[in-house]
A and B are shown apart, each in its own frame.
Chain A
Amino acid sequence: MTQQLTPAQARISFADLAARLRSPRTLAVLAVCATALLLPQILSGSDMPVYVTLLLSAIVVTGLSMLMGYAGQVSLGHASFYLIGAYTAALIATHDKPTWLGLLAAPFAAALVAAVIGIPLLRLRGHQLAFATLAMQLILLNVVGQQEWTGGDIGLQGVPRLTVAGYEFATVSSYAYLALGALAVVVLITRNVVASRPGRGLRALATSEVAAESAGVPVVAYKLVVFSLSAGFAGLAGGIYAFYTGYVAPGSFPVLLSFEFVVMAVIGGLGTIWGALAGATAITLLLQQLNELGTAEGMPSSAPVVLSYAVYGVLLVLVVLFLPRGLVPSARDWWVRRRRPNPEP
């Protein structure tokens, strides 16, 4: 996946292509893409919002997984970039500017903020960075909740529907396709970053910054770029969220949302794109099921909250202890071992 193709190799013959298409990996990718595209047609009205939430989380988690898994930087405040994206889109749209401009500005605003605060913050490592990002989000929530121009604790309401070149995104399924398109872009960017020279540099600096720096990896610049990129992804998801729900308020972006993103990334498997997608899917679906269970008849009113917290906690602890690399890498290892009983040396 990472090696460079020589021109001879690049000339893929028809047979090669056919063989590639038949490989389980390609088939799996095609199946997932087809399912993702068909789902908005199949799902019933009440399931669609869950699907949109899932896709938006997947966008954020893909970036977070790249930041945590490849670059080794922990962020416990990623919902702040989601917030920045959502507020940027909402502010632009409610000030009578074209809505597509809002969606376009959302990822750039989040990435810019990340680049600026990243300069001091990324000097910190490990748990210090985790607490610093958490502190940053608490500060942001506090400040946003008190400013006149952000609407205070009530937030911004009446965000118009997104309109691009005359087409108005009015239905839930149109937002599902929008989020799906955004997710595809994010996954492609991540895949290319990871498979490139900077991607290898990132993996090197995650192991040892000193060794990477001595080998010529521009550590500070790479950390800043990957931080901004993952923030930009979160901002993009936030922008879609603002148009989708029609209002933004500080209460929609609690610290717990940041923790949720981390849970999704860790459970799916850090540093893999499939892990991010699987983590977001697994947690969203599980929460949906628990919510149905919790709101069933005869359950106390606090049941949904209790169940979701309990499952978050138990899952996170069990996965970190017993599947420390996450669901997807563990499953992949199991698959490889099953197919090849005697691993080649």
Chain B
Amino acid sequence: MSEFVQYLISGLAVGCGFALLGSGLVTIHRVTRVVNFAQGMFAVVAGLTAGSLLSAGLPHGVAEIVAVLAAGATGLLVGIAAIGRRGTSPQSALIITLGIGFLAYAIEIMIWGDNPHSFPGLGGAVDIAGAHLQKQYFLVIGAAALGFAALGLFFTRTYLGKALGACASNPYAARAVGINVTRMGLVAFTLGGMLGGVAGVLVTPLQSLSYNSDVLLITNGFAAAILGGLNRLGPAMLGGLALGVAESMVAGYYKASYQSVVALALMLAVMIWRASQHTALHEEAAR
């Protein structure tokens, strides 16, 4: 039982990271139809920035917020490259974000070197049901829950959030009522960058990040997001949590080296199942 609680809580904490990454992907894809391959990079940038700022003497909290803002700025830059030029198809934009991922590798290696980095999170641990749990797990879960609540309020209660929703459901109608769709796309990229950044600063104390951690982060984030067809936030969040717990259970009860295989196989199964529900006719009719 104690083992189970241990795996469950640590899985939920890691899953919060995936859920945040996934919701960033969804936010961007809904508005711009672009699958942002650089989403994992936002988390890496934020995690590494937070580590550097902390070791430079900034207090906890300030360093993390600055890192998230830096990730948001990175998101804006990616957005400008990906959708700033008229007539870039979503498929080309995917390749552009792949290219930006390469560029980010170069910059990250120049600044932080190619070793994994981490920073201490919330110290100490608590015992629940016989399980020894780091306090950082609860911090991650709490912060992610706050983030999701804020995101929900943003999309339902603010003009900007509603404008984003309008662009997502019908870009043409949105333009007709005077919403600048390209600018909304850039807002979505910035928001996606910040969501990735939150994931990065929360997860880095749990598992160290290096410049090329982004491939695994993006595949897990994509796996979470694909549950909602890349368009719905709720399933993306639930998917992220389920993925985190599943990986943690596999690592705990079976073999740690197979945890990423399970996640990837799960993602493939979900995608293929979804594809059997949506034929080419549906997809091309929706264009």
Whether the Cβ atoms of B222 and A316 lie closer than 8 Å is: no
Q: Shortest beta-carbon distance, A320 to chain B, in Å? A: 5
A126 CA to B88 CA in the complex, in Å? 15
Whether B276 and A123, one on each chain, are in contact in the complex, defined by CB atoms closer than 8 angstroms, is: yes
Is the C-beta of A210 less than 8 angstroms from some C-beta in chain B? Answer: yes
**Chain B residue with the shortest CB-CB distance to A134:** B219
Interface residue A247 (Cβ < 8 Å from any Cβ of B):
no
**Interface residue stretch chosen among A84-92, A97-105, A195-203, A306-314:** A306-314
B95 touches A138 (CB 8 A): no
Complex CA gap A327/B156 in Å reads 46
A337 within 8 A of partner (CB): no
Q: Which of A123, A131, A310, A324 contacts B267 (CB 8 A)?
A: A131
The reply to whether A313 and B261 contact each other, CB–CB distance below 8 Å, is no
Q: Contacts A123-B276, A128-B271 hold; do A255 and B215 have CB atoms under 8 A apart?
A: yes
Closest to A209 in B: B280
Q: Is A302 touching B98 in the complex (CB atoms < 8 A)? A: no
How far does the alpha carbon of A213 sit from the alpha carbon of B91 in the complex, in Å?
23
Q: Which residues of chain B are within 8 angstroms of A120 by Cβ–Cβ distance?
A: 268, 272
Given contacts A124-B271, A135-B267, contact A309 B103 (CB under 8 A): yes
Given the known A-B contacts A127-B94, A305-B114, are A142 and B102 also in contact in the complex, defined by CB atoms under 8 Å? no
Which of B49-57, B104-112, B126-134, B142-150 sits within the interface?
B104-112
Query: Quick one: which of A143, A208, A302, A321 contacts B109, CB cutoff 8 A?
Result: A302
Tell me if A259 is interfacial: C-beta within 8 Å of chain B: yes
Q: Is the interface of B mostly helix, strand, loop or mixed?
A: helix
Chain B nearest CB, measured from A273 CB (Å): 20
B245-287 CB mask vs A (1 if < 8 Å, else 0) is: 0000000000001101100110110011001100011011000
Does chain B have a CB within 8 A of A245? Answer: no
Q: Are A128 and B226 in contact (CB under 8 A)?
A: yes
The answer for the CA separation of A213 and B110 in the assembled complex, in Å, is: 50
Given A306-B109, A321-B96; A132-B281 close (CB under 8 Å):
no
Q: Is the CB of A259 within 8 A of B98?
A: yes
Within 8 A of B (CB), among A153-171: none
Verify if B113 is at the interface (C-beta below 8 Å from A): yes
Contacts of A307 in B (CB 8 A): 106
A210-B284, A320-B99 known; A139+B261 contact, CB < 8 A = yes
Residues of A within 8 A of B92 (CB): 320-321, 324
Closest A residue to B35 by CB, please name it: A127
Per-position 1/0 for B115-157, Cβ under 8 A of A: 0000000000000000000000000000000000000000000
Interface residues in B, total, Cβ within 8 A: 46
When chains A and B are docked, how far (Å) is the Cα of A324 from the Cα of B226?
A: 28
In the assembled complex, B81 has its CB within 8 A of some CB on chain A: yes
Closest residue of chain A to B101, judged by CB?
Answer: A313
A229 within 8 A of B: no
A324 to B91, CA, bound (A): 11
CB distance from A64 to the nearest CB of B (A): 13
B96 neighbours in A (Cβ, 8 Å): 316-317, 320-321
Considering the complex, give the chain A residue whose CB is closest to the CB of B33: A127
Inter-subunit contact B219/A131 (CB<8 Å): yes
Is B8 on the interface with A (CB-CB < 8 A)?
no
| B163 contacts chain A at the CB level, 8 A cutoff | no
Cβ–Cβ contact A316 & B226, under 8 A? no
Is there an interface contact between A313 and B104, defined as CB atoms closer than 8 Å? yes
A130 within 8 A of B: yes
Whole-angstrom distance between the Cβ of A211 and the nearest chain B Cβ: 8
A339 CA to B283 CA in the complex, in Å?
A: 42
A92 to chain B, nearest CB (A): 26
Contact check, A316 vs B99: say whether CB atoms are below 8 A apart.
yes
Give bound CA distance, A74 to B88, whole Å: 17
Per the bound structure, the CA–CA distance linking A307 and B272 in Å amounts to 38
Is B81 a contact partner of A317 (Cβ separation < 8 A)? Answer: yes
A123 near B272: Cβ-Cβ < 8 Å: yes
A312-B99, A317-B100 known; A124-B272 Cβ under 8 A? yes
Taking CB atoms and an 8 Å cut-off, the chain A residues in 285-320 that contact chain B are 302, 305-307, 309-310, 312-317, 320
Q: Which residues of B contact A302 (CB under 8 A)?
A: 109-110, 113-114
Given contact pairs A123-B276, A131-B271, A302-B109, enumerate 13 new A-B contacts (beta carbons under 8 Å): A121-B272, A127-B35, A127-B94, A128-B226, A139-B261, A208-B284, A210-B284, A266-B95, A313-B104, A315-B99, A316-B95, A316-B98, A317-B100
Chain A residues with CB under 8 Å of chain B are 74, 120-121, 123-128, 130-132, 134-136, 138-139, 142-143, 146, 208-210, 213, 219, 255, 259, 262-263, 266, 302, 305-307, 309-310, 312-317, 320-321, 324
Across the A-B interface, give the 5 residue pairs with the lowest CB-CB distance, nearest first: A313-B103, A316-B99, A313-B102, A310-B106, A309-B106
Which B residues form the contact surface with A (CB < 8 A)?
35, 81, 85, 88, 90-92, 94-96, 98-107, 109-110, 113-114, 215-216, 219, 222-223, 226, 257-258, 260-261, 264-265, 267-268, 271-272, 275-276, 280-281, 283-284
